[in-house]
Amino acid sequence: MKKQIKNTLALYPTPLVVVGAMVDGKPNWLLAGHVGIIGHDRIMISLASSHYTNQGIRETGKLSVNIVDENLLSKADRAGCVSGAKEDKSSLFDYVIDDFGAPMIGQAPIVMECAVDDIYLTDGFESYICKINRTFAEEHILGPEGKINYRILKPVLFEMPTYGYLRTGDVIGGCTSFGKKQ
Ligand SMILES: Cc1cc2nc3c(=O)[nH]c(=O)nc-3n(C[C@H](O)[C@H](O)[C@H](O)COP(=O)(O)O)c2cc1C
């Protein structure tokens, strides 16, 4: 028997990312778990409007989305604890800036350079609909065909009810392997 738990947002766990953007000519970093996939070439990052990072995203229309693995977690967590409005977070990570212009974390296993396509506004939040311009991956997480191997990468997951970080688990099976047998 199910119990109604109000209109609780229940879509967890989600992968955790560090969002990078230039704010006032300096890199700033923010940790985000409210992320989503749109079609095959766009992603969504949902940020509270008051965050310092948003100022840079709104101004430049560019951001980097850095997947968090366990190596990156400690610094990523710091990016989620303090605002760039209060503390300079520009040197929290080693970074590179290429011709696109959004700062990217050198240590991140995967980085997507994104251009803002649209902003969906809700009460207190700006959800950025972003087109992926280029994706960079560390070679050791790529399989023989050049595809990302998430079993090697092991992205850190975020869940709200315990406000905790989760590790990805075991392989259950191949997609459609169950359905095709029925
Ligand atoms: C685990 C975790 C997940 C977070 N996810 C989000 C998120 O999805 N959206 C958001 O707006 N803030 C999120 N935050 C909060 C921001 O990362 C945090 O307020 C940050 O300090 C804002 O930095 P800024 O003001 O420099 O932009 C999260 C924080 C933590 C610790």
Cα-to-centroid distance, 32 and ligand 1 (Å): 5
- DSSP category for residue 159: E
Question: Going by CA atoms, what residue is nearest to atom 5 of ligand 1?
Answer: 32
Does 47 contact ligand 1 (Cβ within 6 A)?
A: yes
Check: pTM over 0.85? Answer yes or no. yes
pLDDT of residue 57: 98
Could you give the CA distance from residue 132 to residue 115 in angstroms, rounded to a whole number? 7
pLDDT of residue 45: 98
For residue 24, CA distances in Å to 55, 97, 144 come to: 9, 15, 41
- Domains of the chain by range and CATH? 14-181 (2.30.110.10)
Does 32 contact ligand 1 (Cβ within 6 A)?
A: yes
Cα-to-centroid distance, 73 and ligand 1 (Å): 14
Mutate which of 30, 57, 121 for ligand 1? The one with the most ligand atoms within 8 Å of its CB, which is 30
Cα-to-centroid distance, 176 and ligand 1 (Å): 36
Atom of ligand 1 nearest to the CA of 29: 26
pLDDT of residue 14: 98
Q: Which stretches of the chain are DSSP H helices? A: 52-60, 73-79, 150-153
pLDDT of residue 115: 98
Cα-to-centroid distance, 46 and ligand 1 (Å): 10
Of 96, 80, 91, 74, nearest to 30 by C-alpha is: 80
Per-residue pLDDT of the chain (182 residues; tens, 9 = 90+): 999 999 999 999 999 999 999 999 999 999 999 999 999 999 999 999 999 999 999 999 999 999 999 999 999 999 999 999 999 999 999 999 999 999 999 999 999 999 999 999 999 999 999 999 999 999 999 999 999 999 999 999 999 999 999 999 999 999 999 999 99
Can you say how many angstroms the Cα of residue 48 is from the centroid of all Cα atoms in its chain? 15
Unique residue bearing structure tokens 């951001």: 63
Mutate which of 11, 35, 51, 121 for ligand 1? The one with the most ligand atoms within 8 Å of its CB, which is 51
pLDDT of residue 117: 98
Could you give the CA distance from residue 177 to residue 179 in angstroms, rounded to a whole number? 6
Does 37 contact ligand 1 (Cβ within 6 A)?
A: no
- DSSP category for residue 3: -
Q: Kindly state the tokens that stand for 123.
A: 């009460």
The dihedral over CA atoms of 63, 68, 72, 77, expressed in degrees to the nearest 10, equals 80
pLDDT of residue 129: 98
Angle, CA of 92, 93 and 94, to the nearest 5°: 135
Could you give the CA distance from residue 37 to residue 120 in angstroms, rounded to a whole number? 14
pLDDT of residue 55: 98
